[in-house]
A and B are shown apart, each in its own frame.
Chain A
Amino acid sequence: MSHLGGPLDTSGMLAVGPPGGPLRARGRPRTAVRSTLVAVVSTVVVFGILVWITVNAPGWAEVQVSFFNATVFTNAFPDIVAAFSLNIQLFAIAEVLILVLALALAVFRSLPGPVFFPLRFLATIYADIFRAVPGVLVIYILGFGIPGLGLPGIPTDPFPYAVIALTLIYSAYVSEVYRAGIESVHPSQEAAARSLGLSRLQALRYVILPQAVRRVIPPLLNDFIGLQKDTVLVSYIGVVEIFRQSQITQQAKFNYTPYMATALVFIAVTIPLARLTDILVSRDRRRAAASAR
């Protein structure tokens, strides 16, 4: 497998296209047709070899039965899709909270002057800690620790803790994305805004943030692809979402096909988002090229 890594990577990039393809094609338009041909041929060859190796492996018959069982798949699929609605809820609620919390953190970190030092300091510590601690640990600590305090009126249902944990983890990353966007807006924009009499906060709100947010939409979407997948981590604190559901079915049937069904669901949801991100990235690149005279 390791010796296949090289050629597989290259052909994969050429075949999939959007990330590397258009850029190459744009650099050398004359060779675009030939590149496409090479890509198709090399993809077919590489995948052909991979399939051949898999199907001729000594354990293939057993793997086929325990991972690709049509009956188990058909029976388990409705339950798995139903459980996925919980992942969607987690994702949807957490995403909104993340967008707000992360923006606040990024703004705190970009405030200049000694007066705002405590806010900058707290926001920095926050980003450091939540990027350092593995997500699963945050989920465990919150999901078992907070209810374990036994405080009156505190929810025992794991769902809110799952949402809070995902929000805390991802806000640390997303705040860095926002911050990069804020820093990418040229200082002359702030100078222009301030020179018209706008206050620092007005300049941030009307001039800098709108430009910053527009620029970071592709990396934001990228983080949300990660969030979508990481919703399965909250299964550890007893939320019966898609992964937990597939585990239950797997243990009942002694068959791994439910995991394959789960993987399929994620692929179906993630690929459109990934392509949308690619489209936005290339549109941004074109726009940047057009405005650079």
Chain B
Amino acid sequence: MGGEGSRGAAPAATTPALVVEGVHKSFGQLEVLAGIDLTVAQHEVVCLIGASGSGKSTLLRCVNLLEPLDAGRIVVAGEDICAPGVDVNRVRRRIGIVFQAFNLFPHMSVLDNVTLAPRKVLHLAPAEATTRALALLERFGLADKQREFPDRLSGGQQQRVAIVRALAMEPGLLLLDEVTSALDPELVAEVLAVIRELARGGMTMLIATHEMGFARDIANRVCFLDAGRILEDGPPEQMFRAPRAERTQRFLQRVMEAGRL
């Protein structure tokens, strides 16, 4: 984040980290994204909430070009990444994503998981990549796990490693796709703590989450997705206390009844 901050000269500070314009995406007959418009400013934390199937994950996967768009445009730090001829590998280097199921590489140690992309994509010397990886692992309390394999770690530890793996590429934008949904309840806190620290450090994040309390604490802005559209968005105080749209009210009502808020 230090690098991001020091580079933050006047033009970069005003260019949004992410602009999503009119994004449509269907899987067969099913329209998952039905025209999404969204802007995320530098250092902003935006949470996407909404029922399962409302399109949160698909939107994140589209931003990272893991899913091709049917229509619309995505601009990352001023560059249209959907333009023809754009090198997707170069784009993805600047956008980190953390998945619900961790998706660590099971045949590699924690350290190798973290250093693989810096070595093979950024072409860092192994020693340099290791030094940086160890610093990150240290920062998130995982230094003693560097030689372990993923299946020897708890879910919370695995997810923290996955976050470190994404951070090792020093992304300008971090996408978090329901990163606590696969965790046992007692392991959720350690992962959320990591994300809070990243937010304090000024990391720009787009977060799909079911953790409403967390969204209320951490987000600068909350977007409610419903049937592939952003139905309502605003600061968390307004979204959680006085949602305008009826569907948002009903969704939050159900969440509250389930004891999740």
Smallest CB–CB gap between A115 and chain B, Å? 15
Chain A residues with CB under 8 Å of B103's CB are: 188-189, 191-192
Smallest CB–CB gap between A255 and chain B, Å? 54
Bound complex: CA A214 to CA B107 (Å): 9
Question: Within 8 Å of chain B (Cβ to Cβ): is A210?
Answer: yes
B105 and A189 within 8 A (CB): yes
Bound complex: CA A214 to CA B106 (Å): 11
B107 and A188 within 8 A (CB): no
Chain B residues with CB under 8 Å of A207's CB are: 105, 116
Chain B residues with CB under 8 Å of A192's CB are: 99, 103-105
Bitwise interface map of B from 96 to 122 toward A, beta carbon under 8 Å scored 1, else 0: 110101011111000000001100110
Smallest CB–CB gap between B27 and chain A, Å? 14
Binds A, one of B39-47, B86-94, B200-208: B86-94
Question: Within 8 Å of chain B (Cβ to Cβ): is A74?
Answer: no
Q: Which listed residue, B92, B106, B107, touches A197 by the CB 8 Å rule? A: B92
Given A192-B105, A214-B107: A198 and B121 within 8 A (CB)? yes
Bitwise interface map of B from 36 to 68 toward A, beta carbon under 8 Å scored 1, else 0: 000000000000000000000000010010100
Chain A residues with CB under 8 Å of B106's CB are: 211, 291
Question: Within 8 Å of chain A (Cβ to Cβ): is B223?
Answer: no
B117 and A198 within 8 A (CB): yes
Chain A residues with CB under 8 Å of B117's CB are: 196-198
Chain A residues with CB under 8 Å of B88's CB are: 194
Bound complex: CA A194 to CA B97 (Å): 10
Bound complex: CA A192 to CA B95 (Å): 12
CB under 8 Å from chain B, chain A span 191-219? 191-199, 202, 206-207, 210-211, 214
| Interface size class, chain B | 20 to 34
Summed over the interface, the residue pairs from A and B with CB atoms below 8 Å come to a total of: 61
Bound complex: CA A181 to CA B235 (Å): 48
Question: Within 8 Å of chain B (Cβ to Cβ): is A290?
Answer: yes
Smallest CB–CB gap between A112 and chain B, Å? 13
Question: Within 8 Å of chain A (Cβ to Cβ): is B210?
Answer: no
Chain B residues with CB under 8 Å of A199's CB are: 89
Which of A191, A192, A198, A202 has the largest count of B CB atoms less than 10 A from its CB? Answer: A192
A194 and B66 within 8 A (CB): yes
| Interface size class, chain A | 10 to 19
Chain B residues with CB under 8 Å of A291's CB are: 106, 151
Bound complex: CA A202 to CA B117 (Å): 10
Given A206-B120, A211-B107: A196 and B101 within 8 A (CB)? no
Q: Which listed residue, A194, A206, A211, touches B116 by the CB 8 Å rule? A: A206
Given A197-B92, A210-B107: A290 and B151 within 8 A (CB)? yes
Question: Within 8 Å of chain A (Cβ to Cβ): is B160?
Answer: no
Smallest CB–CB gap between B1 and chain A, Å? 18
Bound complex: CA A45 to CA B141 (Å): 63
Question: Within 8 Å of chain A (Cβ to Cβ): is B169?
Answer: yes
Smallest CB–CB gap between B28 and chain A, Å? 17
Q: Which listed residue, B90, B97, B116, touches A195 by the CB 8 Å rule? A: B97
CB under 8 Å from chain B, chain A span 243-293? 290-291
Bound complex: CA A291 to CA B151 (Å): 6
Bound complex: CA A255 to CA B61 (Å): 72
Smallest CB–CB gap between A237 and chain B, Å? 42
Bound complex: CA A191 to CA B169 (Å): 16
Question: Within 8 Å of chain A (Cβ to Cβ): is B179?
Answer: no
A197 and B169 within 8 A (CB): yes
Bound complex: CA A116 to CA B167 (Å): 34
Chain B residues with CB under 8 Å of A197's CB are: 89-90, 92-93, 117, 121, 169
Q: Which residue of B lies closest to A210 (CB)?
A: B107
Q: Which residue of A lies closest to B101 (CB)?
A: A188
Which of A192, A196, A210, A214 has the largest count of B CB atoms less than 10 A from its CB? Answer: A196
B120 and A198 within 8 A (CB): yes
Smallest CB–CB gap between B175 and chain A, Å? 9
Chain B residues with CB under 8 Å of A290's CB are: 151
Question: Within 8 Å of chain A (Cβ to Cβ): is B32?
Answer: no
Bitwise interface map of B from 152 to 195 toward A, beta carbon under 8 Å scored 1, else 0: 00000000000001100100000000000000000000000000
B166 and A196 within 8 A (CB): yes
Q: Which listed residue, A188, A198, A202, touches B99 by the CB 8 Å rule? A: A188
B92 and A191 within 8 A (CB): no
Bound complex: CA A38 to CA B134 (Å): 57
Q: Which residue of A lies closest to B117 (CB)?
A: A196
Smallest CB–CB gap between A185 and chain B, Å? 10
9 pairs across A/B with beta carbons < 8 Å?
A: A191-B61, A192-B99, A192-B104, A195-B66, A195-B97, A197-B89, A197-B117, A290-B151, A291-B106
Beyond the given pairs A196-B165, A197-B93, A198-B120, 7 more chain A to chain B contacts, judged by CB atoms under 8 angstroms and listed by A's residue number, are A191-B61, A192-B99, A195-B64, A196-B117, A198-B121, A206-B120, A291-B106
